[in-house]
């Protein structure tokens, strides 16, 4: 879930457009998209190792065309139960994930963890809650979900229509009551990494030591611009260092294709390049308005969501570094 404010891009956690004409136009376009959108294929999963599967969604914003299947999740099967990681952008998305996990894994889903308080990772919670499946997230994440997600759901319905979001409701996860360490689900021992606030309050990653597979959530992306809206940049670097210390063979990023541990470096390289460019703008005495024009990082222009997100990141980093510089 992303935070409120700051842009007119169609992010569900940002304020709605105002004005009758624009609202009417959006409703007309949404209705047309429902008619014209292609039929979605069945939800697919990738088997990455024994008992470890990933769902790979779109790196773009949720839309009717992509069925609101945005971001990555997955499931890990133990001898007596299955853990699902993230639940998708809608009730229907969550139901598909639950059914697929139990069909392919052969074990009931007994637990869910949410890696970040992002709408594409948690709006399917109701599909699991109605089966009395425990859903957990770090306390900071659960608090943010409780505070913001009702508005996100309202905006998703406005953007995508009642048909796509049918049955979706807010289910706040239970707060995890332990720190980093062993987390046993269905008899399979996993490692939870809870670095605190990096990409968002209450970051979480799941590592299966048996296979070396890491579900990194939004801490790591593959060719998609990381979002700094709710981030602590210094904490993010610390979290990436914590992930880098693991014996990783495969990384399931929050967004984009699955790859190896070099994805961690790629995400960090963007953050470092952004900070360096904004620091240079400050050193040159540029105002925020001018920095937004100058700090373009063209080497990342081909990454998903560069146009709407990078500019916001520049603003976030400028204000952070300016406050740090002047001791505010």
Q: Following DSSP, what letter does each residue of 268-317 receive, concatenated?
A: HHHHHHHHHHHHHHHHTT--HHHHHHH---GGGTTSBTHHHHHHHHHHHH
Q: Is 103 exposed, middle or buried (0-12, 13-18, 19+ CB in 10 A)?
A: exposed
**What pLDDT score was predicted for residue 327?**
79
Q: Among candidates 197, 186, 145, 155, which has minimal Cα distance to 62?
A: 155
Of the listed ranges 36-45, 284-293, 318-327, the one predicted with least confidence: 36-45
Position with higher pLDDT, 91 vs 15: 91
**Could you tell me if residue 276 is inside a domain?**
no
19 pLDDT higher than 70 = no
**What pLDDT score was predicted for residue 41?**
64
The per-residue pLDDT for range 155-165, each reduced to its tens digit, is 999 999 999 99
**Could you tell me if residue 147 is inside a domain?**
yes
**Could you tell me if residue 11 is inside a domain?**
no
**Could you tell me if residue 6 is inside a domain?**
no
Position with higher pLDDT, 93 vs 19: 93
**Could you tell me if residue 323 is inside a domain?**
no
What is the rounded (10 degree) CA torsion for 43, 191, 60, 266? Answer: -130
Dihedral sign (CA 184, 190, 194, 200):
negative
Of the listed ranges 4-18, 132-146, 184-198, 251-265, the one predicted with least confidence: 4-18
Of the listed ranges 11-15, 240-244, 301-305, 308-312, the one predicted with least confidence: 11-15
**What pLDDT score was predicted for residue 40?**
56
33 pLDDT higher than 80 = no
| pLDDT range class, residue 102, cuts 50, 70, 90 | very high
**Could you tell me if residue 151 is inside a domain?**
yes
| pLDDT range class, residue 43, cuts 50, 70, 90 | confident
Tokens of 220: 């790591």
Rounded average pLDDT over 34-61: 81
**Could you tell me if residue 303 is inside a domain?**
no
Structural domains in the chain (count): 1
Residue with tokens 């970040």: 116
**What pLDDT score was predicted for residue 71?**
96
Rounded average pLDDT over 138-154: 97
What mean pLDDT, rounded, does the chain reach? 90
Buried/exposed 139-152: b ≥16 CB within 10 Å, e otherwise? bbbbbbbeebbebb
Residues of the chain above pLDDT 70, percent: 87
Position with higher pLDDT, 270 vs 12: 270
**What pLDDT score was predicted for residue 13?**
55
Whichever domain contains 160, its CATH number is 3.60.15.10
| pLDDT range class, residue 97, cuts 50, 70, 90 | very high
Give the pTM. 0.88
| pLDDT range class, residue 31, cuts 50, 70, 90 | very low
**Domain encompassing residue 250:** 20-261
**Could you tell me if residue 88 is inside a domain?**
yes
CB distance 129 to 114 below 8 Å: no
CB distance 205 to 154 below 8 Å: no
**Residue partners of 126: CB distance under 8 A and separation at least 6:** 91, 94, 167, 168, 169, 171
Position with higher pLDDT, 29 vs 310: 310
Residue with tokens 């360490």: 181
Express the helix, strand and coil content of the chain in percent, nearest 5 each.
Answer: 40, 20, 40
Q: Among candidates 57, 48, 95, 41, which has minimal Cα distance to 75?
A: 48
């Amino acid at each position: 879930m992303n935070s409120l404010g700051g842009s007119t891009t169609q992010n569900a956690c940002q304020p709605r457009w105002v004005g009758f004409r624009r609202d009417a136009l959006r409703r007309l376009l949404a209705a047309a998209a429902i008619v014209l959108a292609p039929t979605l294929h069945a939800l697919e999963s990738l088997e990455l190792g024994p008992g470890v599967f990933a769902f790979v969604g779109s790196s773009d914003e949720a839309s009717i065309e992509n069925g609101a299947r945005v971001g990555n999740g997955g499931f890990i099967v133990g001898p007596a139960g299955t853990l699902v990681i993230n639940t998708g952008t809608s009730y229907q998305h969550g139901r598909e994930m639950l059914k697929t996990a139990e069909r392919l894994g052969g074990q009931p889903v007994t637990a869910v963890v949410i890696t970040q308080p992002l709408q594409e990772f948690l709006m399917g919670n109701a599909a699991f809650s109605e089966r009395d499946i425990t859903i957990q997230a770090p306390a900071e994440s659960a608090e943010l979900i409780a505070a913001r997600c009702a508005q996100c759901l309202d905006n998703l319905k406005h953007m995508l229509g009642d048909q796509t979001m049918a049955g979706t409701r807010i289910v706040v996860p239970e707060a995890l009551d332990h720190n980093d360490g062993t987390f046993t689900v269905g008899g399979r021992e996993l490692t939870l990494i809870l670095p605190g606030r990096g990409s968002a309050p209450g970051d979480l990653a799941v590592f299966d030591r048996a296979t070396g597979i890491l579900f990194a959530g939004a801490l790591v992306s593959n060719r998609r611009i990381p979002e700094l809206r709710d981030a602590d940049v210094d904490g993010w670097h610390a979290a990436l260092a914590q992930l880098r210390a693991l014996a990783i063979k495969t990384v399931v990023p929050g967004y984009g294709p699955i790859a190896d541990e070099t994805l961690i470096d790629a995400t960090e390289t963007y953050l470092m390049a952004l900070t360096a460019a904004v620091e240079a703008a400050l050193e040159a005495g540029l105002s925020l308005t001018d920095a937004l024009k100058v700090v373009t990082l063209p080497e990342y222009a081909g990454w998903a969501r560069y146009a709407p997100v990078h500019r916001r990141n520049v603003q976030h980093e400028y204000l952070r570094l300016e406050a740090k510089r002047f001791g505010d």
